[in-house]
Structure 1
């Protein structure tokens, strides 16, 4: 084992308790990332009534945290490639926790928008950084499955948040109920932040930047968690043959011939996928209000439809390593477009709940597949930067989305709004189906070999359809 590279040893090692603990801690951090993403949507109609806002101000309230996430995903993920994954985790949740706590005591909309923006800056890097970290420590043959377990924990935040909102928002214990929702998010993030301090640094990243002795020490920790039978299993495996570890790479690597097409397809995907994924979760309470349901009823229906998020994530467990990820993204994107239109034309509570549940169910199979995919297609030393840059565009798109979809909802109704969402998902299908590489169960180093930075030679696998 000692003669193999750290990356090769990580890909050969069986899943042990250290992998499972890391997945749980990462999943908990992602839980509060998604809690924040949907907080403005869940509380949108309540806060709008409290402060008597509408129009542009309402869109700004919904979009402010996403605009903060756009900047956070760029800067904090780049920092993760420079100072390490573990230190970047510490910055992310600490910034988020402080400003989310301040949101609870905002006396007016202006300060609430400002604090939501700053909280978004802190949490913006969390998702791509978590994707990056898990992809680097997990063996290639179980990468997708274990990552999905972390995402399943993350997606439990949606029904939990819906239940909390339905229970807490109507109350007034010392302050308005919606303010307690921010306090819960802040305190939960502090707990996740404390646990993340126990995560080992990514040995794959340490090796990629030349810190081999540190990588070896952490790798020994991974191998010590193996049972005796697992050690025997490793000894029976044939030796791995991989390219030597890569040196530090500049950001311009994203645009060399080998990675240019991947960068473009990922950026197009991230700009448009938000219309399908976050367009539903963020705006569904307002869609229900537009259909004539009161706040209490809309929160109830929202909670029931949000149950589809963790269910969809669980359903993806047995298929994420069996179906090529690009085709999983394409198939679920089609279903999201169809179920969105059916939800838009529905007016009975039963159909609203059924199509809303089906929408959230398939959207989380979609989400799991693309979160794994986006960190598989770049080298280790720029993986966080690359995924963060792409993900930042989804945050920018999400921030601007209310300014597009909300006026459309108010003027033309839910069916017209979901028709625009369906068009965005069709473009996503063409983008991923036509140009994405096949990544399922392949070693990261095999997917991202760089013969020479200046050759302009296209990786044969990057053109595989």
Structure 2
């Protein structure tokens, strides 16, 4: 069989008429089920990252046209708004995670619980269930609902957490707040990525700087309230003299509430074109792209006729895969999306290695933070004056140092000198290990956050990303258990964590896809 003609991604989209339309139509022509020889020859330009996986040639052809249209429109003010508003989700995830650790000691003084690490488990359980719930629903009903409401849920329970009457209720509200905040993180990268022109995809890595900003805000609120409104011990602690941790929840919850309102009022998000393509809603795809193009006076030559000429996506065309089960709200629906993440050998390898990487860093990151303070204290480390004010000031300054790493990672992942995303993760992991974590770990973390959605197929991106982050949260729960039963003064866990980063570098070497210079599907 002769090679099919391809749509030239370097040609002006306005010139793609006549014979080019026939090329796309020929590309998407359905073959009989099971004719693998024909399927092996059906692909789109190598510029589309997953375009040659042959899971659905019609969907690949349509995705190629949508990518062309997004590139033709270019980067607009709409994308800047998404960068900021989606960045809120990054910030809130780190904010909620740090707040529970910041206030845990003071809340324990007041409530005197039998299990002091309960808040850590509560926040990770909430983030685990949130990642899975919002990730799956994003592939079932779309990205828009989670984008609009997950932060609102987070903010409500964060505010209520400040009024908790006992340790158990506090744990419940922390868990529910994390359910909204942690689940939102699954959508931040997906929504932003699915609107971005290909040359700007590196901004998904840069967006991790918002994670550091969230840590900084948490540290600043702790510095503002805890030194002056906290008790010193269980014996002296009362509700009246220990309101600092409650003020921290109130302030952070109010800030997240403002962010959630901004998401609804500033952007008025439309469903992403790449999700709509998988749903077969070609008319809405054109409407969304034309809306952005018209609003910012940009060209968009893609028409409904050109999309429809490619054929019908999914099982209806005889060769594609279903993107949904007969009943969307069923276990079979989950199976469909899991199957889609392993639709080819290469895609299955990529998915497995990504999930394994999230497991590794999910264990190394919290374990290091759990064991390091005790390890340093038992080795005679001197920190000088340790008043509450100085302590929380230094804490805020230290968190400020977590912002530059994602900025550096954003530069590295777009530069051929650092071998793209995979090279950035390799370098980030090894440098982190060499410097014994410092704040260079955010180079690897930030790049992995961006890399994960880039190499997942759009129809199953929410599920794959949700499971990845969910596995990370499972290891966070495990770290709290380990810290409870293990000797925190031994150096062994520190060295194990460093060794895990070597393994992460090796896994990054084995990733089969490199997104630099390629367009996500």
Asked whether the 8 Å contact 2:409–2:424 carries over to 1, the reply is no
Q: 1:299 matched to which residue of 2? A: 392
Q: 2:209 matched to which residue of 1? A: 152
Asked whether the 8 Å contact 1:337–1:418 carries over to 2, the reply is no
Deviation at 1:16, TM superposition (A): 1.1
In structure 1, C-alpha distance between the alignment counterparts of 2:476 and 2:271, rounded to whole Å: 31
Q: 1:328 matched to which residue of 2? A: 424
Q: Secondary structure at the match of 1:199?
A: coil
1:373 aligns with 2:451: yes
1:201 aligns with 2:271: yes
Deviation at 1:46, TM superposition (A): 3.0
Deviation at 1:369, TM superposition (A): 0.8
C-alpha spacing 1:333/1:47, structure 2 compared with 1 (3 Å): farther
Hey, which of these two has a bigger chunk of helix by percent?
Answer: 1
Of 65-74 and 417-426, deviating more is 417-426
Q: Secondary structure at the match of 1:255?
A: coil
Asked whether the 8 Å contact 1:143–1:441 carries over to 2, the reply is no
1:36-185 aligned within 5 A: 36-53=96-113, 57-144=115-202, 146-172=203-229, 176-185=243-252
In structure 2, C-alpha distance between the alignment counterparts of 1:328 and 1:407, rounded to whole Å: 36
Q: 2:478 matched to which residue of 1? A: 400
- Structure 1: which 5+ residue stretches go unaligned? 341-357, 446-465
Deviation at 1:283, TM superposition (A): 6.8
Asked whether the 8 Å contact 1:148–1:316 carries over to 2, the reply is yes
Q: 1:315 matched to which residue of 2? A: 408
Q: Deviations over 1:173-224 (max 9, x none)?
A: 9761111111122222222222222223212211221112122111112212
Deviation at 1:292, TM superposition (A): 7.3
Q: 1:254 matched to which residue of 2? A: 341
Q: 1:451 matched to which residue of 2? A: none
Asked whether the 8 Å contact 1:142–1:441 carries over to 2, the reply is no
Asked whether the 8 Å contact 1:140–1:444 carries over to 2, the reply is yes
In structure 1, C-alpha distance between the alignment counterparts of 2:191 and 2:135, rounded to whole Å: 11
Of 268-277 and 373-382, deviating more is 268-277
Q: 2:498 matched to which residue of 1? A: 422
Q: 1:354 matched to which residue of 2? A: none
In structure 2, C-alpha distance between the alignment counterparts of 1:202 and 1:279, rounded to whole Å: 37
Of 172-181 and 67-76, deviating more is 172-181
Q: 2:58 matched to which residue of 1? A: none
RMSD: 3.0
C-alpha spacing 1:226/1:283, structure 2 compared with 1 (3 Å): farther
Asked whether the 8 Å contact 1:151–1:368 carries over to 2, the reply is yes
Deviation at 1:136, TM superposition (A): 0.6
1:439 aligns with 2:499: no
Q: 1:22 matched to which residue of 2? A: 82
Asked whether the 8 Å contact 2:122–2:171 carries over to 1, the reply is yes
Deviation at 1:302, TM superposition (A): 2.5
Q: 2:20 matched to which residue of 1? A: none
In structure 2, C-alpha distance between the alignment counterparts of 1:428 and 1:246, rounded to whole Å: 37
Asked whether the 8 Å contact 1:325–1:438 carries over to 2, the reply is yes
Q: Deviations over 1:17-58 (max 9, x none)?
A: 11111111111232112201211222333333333347xx22
C-alpha spacing 1:209/1:286, structure 2 compared with 1 (3 Å): farther
In structure 2, C-alpha distance between the alignment counterparts of 1:287 and 1:406, rounded to whole Å: 15
Q: 1:455 matched to which residue of 2? A: none
Asked whether the 8 Å contact 1:44–1:285 carries over to 2, the reply is no
* TM score, norm. by length of structure 1: 0.81
Q: Secondary structure at the match of 1:100?
A: helix
C-alpha spacing 1:292/1:183, structure 2 compared with 1 (3 Å): farther
C-alpha spacing 1:404/1:316, structure 2 compared with 1 (3 Å): same
Of 275-284 and 313-322, deviating more is 275-284
C-alpha spacing 1:424/1:217, structure 2 compared with 1 (3 Å): same
Q: Match for 1:271 among 351, 359, 370?
A: 359
Asked whether the 8 Å contact 1:136–1:202 carries over to 2, the reply is yes
Q: Deviations over 1:253-285 (max 9, x none)?
A: 223333221221112111111233344567766
Q: Match for 1:187 among 234, 237, 254?
A: 254
Q: 1:458 matched to which residue of 2? A: none
Equivalenced residue count is 415
In terms of Rg, which structure is larger? 2
Deviation at 1:407, TM superposition (A): 4.5
Q: Secondary structure at the match of 2:116?
A: helix
C-alpha spacing 1:82/1:30, structure 2 compared with 1 (3 Å): same
Asked whether the 8 Å contact 2:108–2:167 carries over to 1, the reply is no
